[in-house]
Amino acid sequence: MQKNGIILLNKPAGISSNSAVNKVKHMLAANKAGHLGTLDVLGEGLLPITINKATKLFDYFLQKDKSYITVFKFGQTSPTLDLEGPLTEEDPTLNLQSSDIEKILNKFIGKQNQMPPTYSAKKINGKKAYQLAREGIEASLKPKQIEIYNIKLLKKIEKNTFEFEIDCSSGTFIRSICRDMAQELSTCGVMQRIIRTRCGKFQLKDAATLKDVEQGNYTLIDPDILFDQPRFDLEEQQFERVQNGGNIQIPEGQFKIYFKNQFLGLGQCENGRFKMLIRLF
């Protein structure tokens, strides 16, 4: 019997999230695999990968907050706002100091409407924005409300190049922060590096490398860790009814549902009617 669960992968830079998922799926001989939030090809760090029926958790996990370490270089930019695209602008006279950065950081904290990058996985009429951009079609992107909880300047790396720590809501484009910060500084900018360090309650320090997964040195996390609802254990007769789509009598509200200590998913009883909101069996 194949197990359901979540593997925390430390994705290396240079491969897509889907490629990383397929590698893990192959290593584990899993029927299904997916990820809980894309990292760009040049992005590295925490990529939670769902195995088998845990892939049904994607919609639930989509809105989780995230944290990143990122490096912005000001005075340069590219069409993609990162190093995937060719550098198209350069300001050789720019000489920013850490104090210049510190003065503007508070302007980027809080809820705000953020315009996605032209080259992004944002879908427009079923097609990804970067696909339209590569075809020379001007994408009709719309701003989306996001929230930046904190931006911390960690250090100046070299001339006009700075490392930041960012805590933000799901759906935030870090490349867009680089672009918008550069505009506030009356220049242009490019993201040189991005490392995701947190997804919801998951931390990069707990992640395994692809080599670890190949060697079996990983933890398959039970999906119930994602839910804070109280636990409800089904009796055998109740489980049979739920399995066949029948109703059972349990207290009103949402519960993590178990049978014989196995997590079955998220269930809800409302007005005396029970249904499985997320079913993992």
Q: What is the pLDDT of residues 184-203, one digit of tens each?
A: 999 999 999 999 999 998 99
Residue 120 pLDDT level (bands cut at 50, 70, 90)? low
User: Do 92 and 137 belong together in one domain?
Assistant: yes
What radius of gyration, in Å, describes the C-alpha atoms of the chain?
22
The token pair at 92 is 């050789």
Contact 69, 204 (CB under 8 A): no
Question: How confident is the model over 6-52, as pLDDT tens digits?
Answer: 999 999 999 999 999 999 999 999 999 999 888 989 999 999 999 99
User: Do 115 and 25 belong together in one domain?
Assistant: no
Q: List, in order, residues 6 or more apart from 108 with CB less than 8 Å away.
A: 148, 151, 177, 180, 181
User: Do 189 and 215 belong together in one domain?
Assistant: no
pLDDT at 257: 96
Amino acid letter, 73: K
Which domain CATH number covers 58?
Answer: 3.30.2350.10
pTM: 0.87
Question: How confident is the model over 205-263, as pLDDT tens digits?
Answer: 999 999 999 999 999 999 998 899 999 999 999 999 999 989 999 999 999 999 999 99
Parent domain of 168: 66-196
User: Do 255 and 218 belong together in one domain?
Assistant: no
- CA atoms 245, 250, 252, 254: torsion sign: negative
Q: How confident is the prediction for the chain on average, in pLDDT?
A: 90
| 60 CB neighbour count, 10 Å cutoff | 15
pLDDT above 70: percentage of residues in the chain: 91
Is the pLDDT score of 121 beyond 70? no
Which domain CATH number covers 242?
Answer: 2.30.130.10
Using the structure block, give the residue that is written with the tokens 């998220």. Answer: 266
User: Do 40 and 99 belong together in one domain?
Assistant: no
Q: Which are the catalytic amino acids?
A: 40
Q: How far is CA 30 from CA 12, 147, 211, in A?
A: 21, 36, 17
Q: How far apart are CA 179 and CA 80, in angstroms?
A: 10
User: Do 104 and 141 belong together in one domain?
Assistant: yes
Structural domains of the chain, count: 3
User: Do 272 and 151 belong together in one domain?
Assistant: no
| The residue count for the chain | 281
Question: How confident is the model over 90-119, as pLDDT tens digits?
Answer: 898 999 999 999 999 999 999 999 998 875
User: Do 192 and 215 belong together in one domain?
Assistant: no
pLDDT at 119: 59
Report residue 8 CA to chain centroid gap.
12
